Every structure is written in structure tokens, then in C-alpha cells.
Amino acid sequence: MALPRQLRKRKITLAIILTIFVTFFFYLLKSLPEEKTPVSRHTKLSKETVADLLSIIILDFEDFDNALEKTTDNLQDVLGPVPIFIISDHVPYPPVRLEAKGSARILTLENELTRNYSAGCTARLFNTEFVLILPDASSLEGFHQIKSFISFLKFKRDTKAIAIPQINELVYCADFHVDLTRWTIAFEKDYLKKAVFCPLVKGSHGLLMRTQTLISLPTPFMRPFPFTFYVQAKVKSWKIRIMNSGRIGLLSKLYTDPHSKWKRKQREADSLKAFYKSVGLKQEILPSGISNFYGCEKHTPRCFGTVVKDMPEFLYRGRWTPPCCLRALRETAAHVFSVLEKCNVRYWLEGGTLLGAARLGDIIPWDYDVDIGIYKEDIAKCQPLLHASEDSEPFIDEKEFVWEKASEGDFLRIQYSETNHLHVDIYPFYQKDGIMTKNTWFLTHRQDVEFPETYLKPFTKINFTGIMVSAPNNVRKFLEFKFGEGVIENPRYPNLQKPLNR
Ligand SMILES: *[C@@H]1O[C@H](CO)[C@@H](O)[C@H](O)[C@H]1NC(C)=O
Ligand SMILES: *[C@@H]1O[C@H](CO)[C@@H](O)[C@H](O)[C@H]1NC(C)=O
């Protein structure tokens, strides 16, 4: 089919214009000055430019078994005078002797009374755009090994760091979650196979990133490294990529004899504890579902201070009751229930505790004590209660719980231990004209009011922390009578007007 003449003519003109444009752009591109970035343009990088571009950090090493001297020598041999920083939380002992002429130095993070503050600021020493953090005894073949990774970081801005496994190392990837409100870190069961981005790389590896990335972390140099890095990266939702080519070499195997192995493990456990403490993680849920708790033990003080105006310190800081405290409260409550049941004391869950039981079968996640009501006349039936209400001295039972009269009014308090003052409060009520009343009232607590005895005739059972305990009948009506309508469905923080959006 022949095209109309006019159209054919236009096509030819268009082709000519296009050719001119293409030729013009080709020459324009060629005449542009070469980009100055050494990495993308030059295959052979002079040793001076490596030192301008990259610093090496060694954080993960042990005093008692290390290859720091060999490692720094080797890195300087292949990379030239690249800055190498060995960062330690204390002065390494036995001494590490680095080559005097070399560019490696040891930085200690310890507070020294003789040092000024600005000199102690480690990050100010990193003058290169990139840092490579290597485990002790790592080796490189040359800069070419790192070069493509640096280009990658320059090109892929959303990749915050690159994990480069050590040769022959079985490296795998795991996922985990950090819940700061609940002070918890939870590790996933399944390892991610063939993951490109990895939340937690396990197995020995180096980490390459921009210096800016590293120093934007709240605490970049804490051990156990690189675990602490991954936790902080997770909170920032950073993407970390595993590379499986160009693996890092290994100069020698460390921690091979049983004693070194044991010491290494011990050090890691200690530093893990210190890290969790410093960032406020108190429960570690392992892939098996088993939890490790950090802080708030039977023989340590309660991990939050005196509660002022119903607003505990942790809530003020935007966090809920530390999980170790909740656990200790549950344990104390379970002990108290068992004693009350053994004595046949008529008891029931009170106030916020009953509310928690009705709402979720547990202590409300930001509550800090457990409240129980009893018939005052039943105190005489139960030795620990009798002790507590009559003696001026607290009564310590065989499981080290402390039973005592509360100093704030006419009620009893059972503390987790003499040191740890997490507690259960027991309020003695008595019946008067069909109404349950008591002698001490907290005027600021709306729920602290008299109520008809019919709620206790009969009692019901309610599931609280996995055990069935005694409660008023018609729990919903009882709670709404005390707190107001809709209280089960509408959680509120104490002493905050704003309802909770959860
Ligand atoms: C702090 O120490 C550094 C390094 O020792 C020194 O260069 C600097 O002048 C000192 N600064 C002050 C304010 O003393
Ligand atoms: C209480 O509730 C928990 C959680 O829903 C459940 O696992 C447990 O079996 C219950 N306990 C009893 C005694 O019903």
C-alpha cells in the first residue's frame, strides 16, 4: 500500500533529524570531562586513593587469642597505608604491638579521667567515605575484592551495608523482631535461604558501608559485633545485602582450643547482656519459643522506681511493664493464690487485675501490681495473713516472699522478695448491710468503691495467667459498675486522658 506523498516526505525529514540528533549527542558525551570517581573509571587504583576512600575497623577480637598484628600487616601489604582502627572497650592485654610505621592504631572506648571529651570521640577519626568492618584474622587479596562492592553501594543507595562472608564459612540469614514497647527481641524459627537482603547474618563476615551509615547508629561499636549492628539496623529498617562472591580470606583459625572457646563464649554472653541492658531489651525469645530474661530477678531490685501519681516511669518513657517484671508479678500472684486457696480464704480479683483477666487473661501489659480482695474476717484462717496484719515485722515465707502490712493504709502487701519489691496487694473487705466496704480508699481510683455483696455470692472462676482463680460473678457488670461502661473494650493508660490506639 503506497503512502501518500506528503507522509513519505515527512518520514524522510524525521529520519534525517533523528540522525543529526544521535550524532550530536554522541559527540557531546565524548567531549564531557571524565568523572572523577576513581572506582568506576579506573580498574587499577593507586594505593593512595584506597586510603582516601576506605578505612578498616576491627571490632571483633579477643585479648587472649588474636591475630591482630598479622591481620594489620597483611592488610597494609595488600592495600597500602589504609587507615586501620582496632576498636576495643579496654586497653588490650597482653599488649598488641602494631608496626610503628604502619597506619593501624588502637582506639579504646574506656573512659579515662586524663583524656578530654573530644579526643574520646572515635567517629571523628574516620575521614573516608567507606568503612569495612572485619573480624580478626581476616585477609584480603587486594583492593579489587572490595571495589565492586563499593561501586554497588554507590549505585544502590537503598542498600545500607554489604555483608561479605569469610571463606569456607557457613553463613546464613535469620529474621528477628524488636519490640521496644515490650522490651523484647524475638528470633524467627526459620532461616532464610538464598536471601538477598538479610536482617541478621550469622557466621563470620565483613561489613562494608558508608562511614555516614555507621556513625548514624546510636551505638556503633558495641559488642558482640556484628550482632549489635543488626539490631540497630533493624530498628531503622535498613536493607543489608549478602554477597556471596569475593569472599574475605582467613589468616588463621581462632579460638580453637577448648579454653579459648569457652572464654570467647563467656565474653560474648557478657557483652550481649551489657548490650541488651544499654538499649533496654529485657526479654529474648529464642526460635524454640523459650525466653531468656534480662534484669528483674528475685535478688535484684525492681527495675523501675517508685510510681508517682499512678504513672510509672516506663510508661512515661513510652514503654510497657518490663517482661521480667510481669513474669515476677505472675509468679508472686500464683504463690499468693495457692496460699489463699490452701487456707480457704474467700478472695477475688480486684480492680485493674480483674480487668486484665477479663480483657486478656493476663496482667494488663502496663500494670505494675496485682490487686486481690478478701473477706477481712478470713485473715484469722491464714498464718501468713495473720502475721502480716498483726506483726510489725514482715513475715518471710519459705519461698522468700515477704508478707507485710502496707504503709499506705489498711491492706496487706506481698513482695516478690526482700530485695525485689514487685508486689501483690490484698484488700480486706467486710460486709455491712449487704455492701462490701473497707477502711482505706484511694480517692483518685475511680474503681475503688463499695459494691453489693451479691457479686460475691457465688464467686466465679476466671482464667488469669493460665490458672483459674476466684472472681466476682458477672464480671462485666462488676467491672462496669466500678470503672464505667465499655471498660473491657476500651483500654486506657493510667493518668492519661488519651485512649489507646491499639
Ligand atoms: C584534646 O585532646 C586532643 C588529642 O590529645 C588535642 O589535640 C586537643 O587539643 C585537646 N583539646 C582540648 C580542648 O584540650
Ligand atoms: C487460660 O488461657 C490460656 C490462654 O488463652 C490457655 O492457654 C490456658 O489453657 C487457659 N487455662 C485454663 C486453665 O483454662
* Domain that residue 367 falls in: 313-483
325 and 466 share one domain: yes
Per the structure block, which three cell numbers stand in for 386?
A: 495473720
76 and 200 share one domain: yes
55 and 148 share one domain: yes
Cα–Cα distances in angstroms (integers) from residue 87 to residues 75, 206, 315, 411, in the given order: 16, 15, 36, 55
Indicate the SS3 state at residue 47.
helix
Cis check: omega of the bond before 226, within 30 degrees of 0: yes
Q: How far is the CA of 112 from the centre of ligand 1 (A)?
A: 14
Q: How far is the CA of 115 from the centre of ligand 1 (A)?
A: 8
Q: How far is the CA of 116 from the centre of ligand 1 (A)?
A: 6
- Is residue 32 a part of any domain in this protein? no
* CA–CA separation, 219 and 176 (whole Å): 19
Q: How far is the CA of 114 from the centre of ligand 1 (A)?
A: 11
Q: How far is the CA of 469 from the centre of ligand 2 (A)?
A: 12
- Is residue 29 a part of any domain in this protein? no
Q: Is 461 in the pocket of ligand 2 (CB under 6 A)?
A: no
At residue 33, the pLDDT reads 42
Which ligand has the shortest distance to the CA of 116?
1
Q: How far is the CA of 121 from the centre of ligand 1 (A)?
A: 11
pLDDT in tens, the chain (502 residues): 444 566 566 666 666 555 655 555 555 544 444 434 444 444 455 555 788 899 999 999 999 999 999 999 999 999 988 999 999 999 999 999 888 777 899 999 988 888 888 877 888 889 999 999 999 999 999 999 999 999 999 999 899 999 999 998 888 899 999 999 999 999 998 777 778 899 999 999 999 999 999 999 999 999 999 999 999 999 999 999 999 889 999 999 999 999 999 999 999 999 999 999 999 999 999 999 999 999 889 999 988 888 888 888 888 888 999 999 999 999 999 999 999 999 999 999 999 999 999 999 999 999 999 999 999 999 999 999 999 999 889 999 999 999 999 988 889 999 999 999 999 999 999 999 999 999 888 877 778 889 999 999 999 999 999 999 999 999 999 999 999 999 999 988 776 544 454 4
| Residue 90 near residue 110, CB atoms below 8 Å | yes
Which ligand has the shortest distance to the CA of 112?
1
* CA–CA separation, 302 and 420 (whole Å): 5
Indicate the SS3 state at residue 404.
strand
- Which residue's alpha carbon is nearest to atom 8 within ligand 1? 119
Q: Is 468 in the pocket of ligand 2 (CB under 6 A)?
A: yes
User: In which region does residue 341 sit, left (phi positive, over 0), alpha (psi from -120 to 50) or beta (all else)?
Assistant: alpha
Q: Is 114 in the pocket of ligand 1 (CB under 6 A)?
A: no
Spatial CA neighbour of 295 closest among 317, 274, 268: 274
235 and 373 share one domain: no
- Is residue 77 a part of any domain in this protein? yes
Q: How far is the CA of 334 from the centre of ligand 2 (A)?
A: 14
- Is residue 86 a part of any domain in this protein? yes
- Of 230, 250, 270, the one marking the end of a domain is 250
- Is residue 30 a part of any domain in this protein? no
232: domain CATH number? 3.90.550.10
**Residue 361 CA: which ligand 2 atom is closest?**
2
Residues 179, 180, 184, 187, CA torsion sign = positive
Which ligand has the shortest distance to the CA of 357?
2
| Residue 282 near residue 293, CB atoms below 8 Å | yes
393: domain CATH number? 3.30.460
| Cα diameter, the chain | 116
- Is residue 14 a part of any domain in this protein? no
Contacts of 258 (CB under 8 A, 6+ apart): none
Per the structure block, which three cell numbers stand in for 345?
A: 480464704
472 and 334 share one domain: yes
At residue 37, the pLDDT reads 42
108 and 246 share one domain: yes
**Residue 116 CA: which ligand 1 atom is closest?**
1
Q: How far is the CA of 476 from the centre of ligand 2 (A)?
A: 19
Which ligand has the shortest distance to the CA of 360?
2
92 and 215 share one domain: yes
Q: How far is the CA of 117 from the centre of ligand 1 (A)?
A: 8
- Which residue's alpha carbon is nearest to atom 9 within ligand 2? 466
74 and 222 share one domain: yes
Q: How far is the CA of 414 from the centre of ligand 1 (A)?
A: 55
119 and 216 share one domain: yes
Q: Is 501 in the pocket of ligand 1 (CB under 6 A)?
A: no
| Residue 264 near residue 62, CB atoms below 8 Å | yes
Helix boundaries (H) for 343-443: 351-360, 383-390
Total-model pTM: 0.84
80 and 166 share one domain: yes
- Is residue 211 a part of any domain in this protein? yes
At residue 140, the pLDDT reads 96
459 and 343 share one domain: yes
- Which residue's alpha carbon is nearest to atom 2 within ligand 2? 466
- Which residue's alpha carbon is nearest to atom 13 within ligand 1? 116
* CA–CA separation, 163 and 200 (whole Å): 10
Which ligand has the shortest distance to the CA of 114?
1
Q: Is 196 in the pocket of ligand 2 (CB under 6 A)?
A: no
**Residue 118 CA: which ligand 1 atom is closest?**
1
Instruction: Please give the tally of structural domains in the chain.
Output: 2
358 and 478 share one domain: yes
Cα–Cα distances in angstroms (integers) from residue 235 to residues 113, 151, 321, in the given order: 33, 26, 20
- Is residue 434 a part of any domain in this protein? yes
